[in-house]
Structure 1
Amino acid sequence: MTQFTVGAQMYSVRTLLQTEEEMKTTFASLKAMGYNEVQMSGYNFQIPPERIAALLAEAGLHCGSTHVSFDWMEEDVDRCIAYHKILKCEYPGTGGMPRHFLDRGEEGYVDFAKRASKVADKLLDAGQHFLYHNHAHELSHFPKGRGLEILFNETSPAFQFEIDTFWIQAGGMNPIEWIRKVAGRMDVVHFKDMKPTCTITEIGNGNLDWPKIMAVCDEIGVKYAFIEQDNAVEGDPLNCMKISHDHLAALGARF
């Protein structure tokens, strides 16, 4: 069995998280499948964190991590810390770099690295860990290196990476190699499978080598792996999450 715990990324079921009643039903369904950990993302952010925490507790789930807006985090880090304390969450994350950084190319990456490092350091002082989730565009080349390399080299050690297996593969790179590259700075990873057509699919229905990916995650000391399927909402998102759960469970994943 894996040393890390696999959970469900809520962006996969975001259409089922827009009211408290939907959250209650969806959380119960995920618990019944065998999930114990979630990463909150894509939900109705107007629902107070106190209510989300209560609904998670009622379902027997724990919020291991989140994805929230970086601009929101930077605007008021103390508010961000308090929000995540209510959720009993140690890993506040952001789903990607805001467009106003990306549009500036290499200079934008360097600026983001500096500003995100300040947020990460403040979170660490409060016992929380900043996560950065990549897409394929962070593998673009610049004079200082690929975007992800700039972030690795220019950020504080408190800045953690959240490698997304699909997006690394989509960017033409090997997710196993990148997981090793960020060893020591990645407690949380995204598990996402890819069809040969370069589309997202359920874990096990694509072409990624899950036994090897799971092994390298244990090797570097990952704590959480969250299953994300962005396009699950185009069909039956809960069934998609069950397919992924069952495949990884059969491979020895801890839930």
Structure 2
Amino acid sequence: MTAPLSIQLYTLRDQIAADRDGTLTRLAEIGYRQVEAYDPTADPAGFRKLLDGLGVTVSSTHAYALFDKDAGEVFDAVATVGTDLAIIPGGIAHEEFTTLDGLQRTADLLNGFAAKAAERGIRIGYHNHWWEIEPRFEGRTGLEVLAGLLAPEVFLEVDTYWAQVGGADVPELLRTLGGKVLALHVKDGPGVKDEPHTAVGKGAIDVPSILAAAPEAQRIVELDTCATDIFEAVAESRAYLTALEEGLS
């Protein structure tokens, strides 16, 4: 593992809404030393100050806010929280991934964001779900086609769970995408839509094979939903991944 294990804070969105400071403190106590934010524009200075006090850094942030806020405001917030990686995790119609013209429009949109971000020393990434994986173009997933249309500086954050749900051989997909992949969302569960996730290592996903296929990518835990206690699940996920990475190294 090339960087400390991170966690997407959307995993604990309800707990953060109720008690941000207490939730982040508890994550630090569990052992997480990096986090991925989901809205950098929400009190960026206060968020950064709290994390600095906990000895926690921001690996990256999602930047859905680029669709409805001034880009300069968003990029200022990204810099304030302490990262230079801003990831688009949605906001593009699913249908755009079902045609070549739609994929080109999507690439143009992401490349446009990237050009603006580069002026501020920030890189733009894209995070997939299943709807970028299911469409096939001469045997290639929509995500693979999109990757070939993106500017060199635009990276991918591959959600490994949703890639499998979409029908991909995830290790093979990661090997194909290669260095375009800077980060992985690592999650586990039954591997179907509309079912809660589990702690990593407790579900049906072959996590070891997936991680071995992208050894340099940042690992980021994310559980969209969870039927068990969420703090226990993220603690179990960290313990499993830490032991697994030690075994792989």
Give the TM-score range, shorter chain.
0.7 to 0.9
Displacement of 1:206 after TM fit? 1.3
How far apart, CA to CA, are the structure 2 residues paired with 1:197 and 1:112?
Answer: 26
How far apart, CA to CA, are the structure 2 residues paired with 1:97 and 1:110?
Answer: 16
How far apart, CA to CA, are the structure 2 residues paired with 1:55 and 1:93?
Answer: 22
* Residue 103 (str. 1) matches residue 95 (str. 2): yes
Judged with a 3 Å threshold, the aligned counterparts in structure 2 of structure 1 residues 47 and 154 are, in CA distance, closer, same or farther, namely closer
2:24 to 24, 27, 37: 27
Q: What amino acid is the match of 2:242?
A: A
How far apart, CA to CA, are the structure 2 residues paired with 1:35 and 1:46?
Answer: 22
Gaps in structure 2 of 5+ consecutive residues = none
TM-score calculated relative to the size of structure 1: 0.85
* Residue 201 (str. 1) matches residue 193 (str. 2): no
Deviations 1:42-78 (A, max 9, x none): x6x77321111112112221111111216437x6332
Q: Secondary structure at the match of 2:179?
A: coil
* Residue 137 (str. 1) matches residue 131 (str. 2): yes
How far apart, CA to CA, are the structure 1 residues paired with 2:111 and 2:192?
Answer: 36
Displacement of 1:197 after TM fit? 5.6
How far apart, CA to CA, are the structure 1 residues paired with 2:169 and 2:29?
Answer: 34
| Alpha carbons 2:64, 2:91 under 8 Å: kept | no
Match of 1:154 in 2: 149
Match of 2:61 in 1: 66
Number of residue pairs the alignment of both structures matches: 242
Q: Secondary structure at the match of 2:202?
A: coil
Q: Secondary structure at the match of 1:161?
A: strand
1:185 to 174, 180, 184: 180
How far apart, CA to CA, are the structure 1 residues paired with 2:128 and 2:154?
Answer: 13
Match of 2:49 in 1: 54
Gaps in structure 1 of 5+ consecutive residues = none
Q: What amino acid is the match of 2:181?
A: M
Displacement of 1:34 after TM fit? 0.9
Decide which moves more: 170-179 or 30-39. 170-179
Q: What amino acid is the match of 2:188?
A: D
How far apart, CA to CA, are the structure 2 residues paired with 1:244 and 1:212?
Answer: 16
Displacement of 1:98 after TM fit? 2.2
Deviations 1:64-105 (A, max 9, x none): 1111216437x6332222111101112111212423xx3354
Match of 2:12 in 1: 13
Q: What amino acid is the match of 1:111?
A: R
Q: What amino acid is the match of 1:62?
A: T
Deviations 1:175-230 (A, max 9, x none): 11121122121211110113266642210001222333222222xx32x2110000
1:89 to 60, 75, 83: 83
* Residue 122 (str. 1) matches residue 119 (str. 2): no
| Alpha carbons 2:66, 2:74 under 8 Å: kept | no
How far apart, CA to CA, are the structure 1 residues paired with 2:176 and 2:208?
Answer: 19
1:39-50 correspondence to structure 2 within 5 Å: 39-41=36-38, 47-50=42-45
Match of 2:107 in 1: 113
Q: Secondary structure at the match of 2:122?
A: coil
Displacement of 1:26 after TM fit? 0.8
Match of 1:246 in 2: 239
How far apart, CA to CA, are the structure 2 residues paired with 1:116 and 1:215?
Answer: 28
C-alpha RMSD of matched pairs (Å): 2.4
Q: Secondary structure at the match of 2:184?
A: strand
| Alpha carbons 1:36, 1:60 under 8 Å: kept | yes
TM-score calculated relative to the size of structure 2: 0.87
